[in-house]
Structure 1
Amino acid sequence: MIRILEGADAVATSEGSDVGRALLRLISGGPTAQYPRPAELNFELRLREATMRAALELNGSGAAFETFENSRCNPEYWRREPNGAFRLRADRRPAGAIRDIFANGPMYGFECATAIVIVFYKAVLDSIGDAAYDRLFANTYLFHWNVDRDLGLTTIPTVRYIPGDCLYFDNPDVNPETMQWQGENVIDLGGDRYYGHGIGIRNAKGMIEALNAHRRPGATRSAYLLPQATRPDYIRLSLSAGSPFGDALPPGLPFRARIGHSLYMYR
């Protein structure tokens, strides 16, 4: 169920997309998700779509999978740190530096957690524009799960996954000689399709098979999908960026009920 606290009278519909309508149905069918206004819900729908697009773009960019020891970046935009992290150069804008990863992918190599963070940053950039992005993410530092607090990534226990979520396939019997395959962070693309940096786009069975190929000799436990999801703080991002998409939601809304100033949507 979705609860919108204020602005029930302002809810309108836009042409939207098939993906946006599907996301709205998924969100409304789960536990109560609360939004201050329709604009924040609309922002989440748009950003989830942008996240899936960014994952596909990174998959096709030519950026390589590398361990921290062997990571690489374009020195025109980033300074590589001794620990394998990338720090934004002081004379470069964050928006341009993130776009360069997608434009000049072969110059970059990083592991799967950094890849997911890059996907989220690109999705936010595509959603809020250069000016707001540069203001919010002025000191970008790419290293594993070290993210800007404005992104607000949070991992929650759940088995109700929504496209645009980051999920994790764990490999408990990983071969100690290939610890980089102890698991795979992925973006849920919907329809049993996942993007994982270094593996590519596969279904759940394919992700598990890829990880199982890197188990220790005599392993008895298979890789598996953890019951959790990692998501940005959509409401905080929307408010920080000025709710750029307005109140119009996709058509085909779930059932609606108005109680006081609040609007409830469910299916």
Structure 2
Amino acid sequence: MIRINGQLIQGNQLDALSVSNKQRPILKSMAGNQTVYDFYTQDELLFELTVRANTTQASYDLLQSGVGFADFDHSTCNQAIWTLTREGGFLLKSSVTPQRGIDDIFRNGNLYSFECAVAIIIIFYKATLDSIGAASFNQLFRGLYLFSWRYDEDLHLISHSGSEFLPGDCVYFNNPEFNPETPEWRGENTIVMEYDLYFGHGIGIAPGADIIKSLNEQRRPGARLSAYLENRITHPEYRYLRN
């Protein structure tokens, strides 16, 4: 359900909203869920739809970019743009703008390899860049450092429990009995693309059952517990980004 300034929006009001073809399914999912999505203004709703649509597009673009999957010990980057740290993180060079640093990952993907948490942060940065523009992005995200779930505080990610996922949400497939020899498969951070279709770095775009099957193939010998999708949702705080 969608509520703007305390009023439920439905029917003809939803149809009258000027949204793109990529945003329309997200809007319909919001309207059809039992979760109440509260907005102060229509523009605030439209901004969230924009960022969510850009998040799914960034996920697809990262898949097509040629980036590789690697644990932190084997991460790689374009060292003309980033400094590769001892822990396997990427520190943006002071002479490079944040916009150029993020865009280079998508343009020169063959020079990069990293694990799934880094991929999610990169996707959120790219979606934010494409939503607010280079000038604002460069002002907000100076000194970018990419490593696991570390991110600039201005990205302002929030997490909460829930099972009504929307495109653009990050959700986690947990693998409780992963093989300790391959700890990178302890779980998979994914972006919801549409209903029961997820992007996971190293797996691709697949239904939830296929992601669970892939993770189950990476369990320790004798494991009995299946991988599963957690009821936890992570995404930027859209109102904060817009303001």
* TM-score bracket for the superposition, by shorter chain length: over 0.9
| 1:168 corresponds to | 172
Secondary structure, counterpart of 2:234 in structure 1: strand
TM-score (norm 2): 0.93
Number of corresponding residues: 237
Check conservation: 2:118, 2:146, Cα contact below 8 A. yes
Secondary structure, counterpart of 1:167 in structure 2: strand
- Distance, in Å, in 2 between the alignment partners of 1:75 and 1:110 is 14
* Deviation by residue 1:64-94 (Cα, 9 ceiling, x = unmatched): 1011111111111111111111111100000
Structure 1 or 2, whichever has the larger Rg, is: 1
Secondary structure, counterpart of 2:154 in structure 1: coil
For the pair 1:143 / 2:153, whether they are aligned, the reply is: no
- Distance, in Å, in 2 between the alignment partners of 1:15 and 1:142 is 35
| 1:16 corresponds to | 19
- Distance, in Å, in 2 between the alignment partners of 1:93 and 1:206 is 38
Q: Post-superposition shift, 1:24?
A: 1.6
| 2:226 corresponds to | 222
Check conservation: 2:192, 2:199, Cα contact below 8 A. yes
Say which of 69, 74, 81 aligns to 1:70: 74
Q: Post-superposition shift, 1:152?
A: 1.0
For the pair 1:200 / 2:212, whether they are aligned, the reply is: no
Q: Which amino acid aligns with 1:210?
A: S
Secondary structure, counterpart of 1:150 in structure 2: helix
| 2:2 corresponds to | 2
| 2:64 corresponds to | 60
Q: Post-superposition shift, 1:128?
A: 1.1
Check conservation: 2:35, 2:164, Cα contact below 8 A. no
Relative contact order higher in (CA < 8 Å, ≥ 6 apart): 1
Paired residues for 1:53-202 under 5 Å: 53-202=57-206
Q: Post-superposition shift, 1:15?
A: 4.1
- Distance, in Å, in 2 between the alignment partners of 1:99 and 1:128 is 14
Q: Post-superposition shift, 1:14?
A: 5.2
- Distance, in Å, in 1 between the alignment partners of 2:5 and 2:151 is 30
Q: Which amino acid aligns with 2:235?
A: R
- Distance, in Å, in 2 between the alignment partners of 1:15 and 1:27 is 16
Secondary structure, counterpart of 1:18 in structure 2: coil
- Distance, in Å, in 1 between the alignment partners of 2:103 and 2:109 is 10
- Distance, in Å, in 1 between the alignment partners of 2:36 and 2:195 is 23
Q: Which amino acid aligns with 1:87?
A: L
| 1:48 corresponds to | 52
Q: Post-superposition shift, 1:104?
A: 0.3
* Deviation by residue 1:184-242 (Cα, 9 ceiling, x = unmatched): 00011003211101111111111011111110110101111011111100001011xxx
- Distance, in Å, in 2 between the alignment partners of 1:176 and 1:214 is 9
- Distance, in Å, in 2 between the alignment partners of 1:21 and 1:215 is 39
- Distance, in Å, in 2 between the alignment partners of 1:183 and 1:97 is 27
Check conservation: 2:174, 2:187, Cα contact below 8 A. yes
| 1:248 corresponds to | none
Check conservation: 2:71, 2:115, Cα contact below 8 A. yes
- Distance, in Å, in 2 between the alignment partners of 1:30 and 1:231 is 19
Secondary structure, counterpart of 2:194 in structure 1: coil
Unaligned runs of 5+ in 1: 240-267
Taking only the aligned residue pairs, the percentage that are identical comes to 44
Q: Post-superposition shift, 1:22?
A: 2.0
Q: Post-superposition shift, 1:25?
A: 2.4
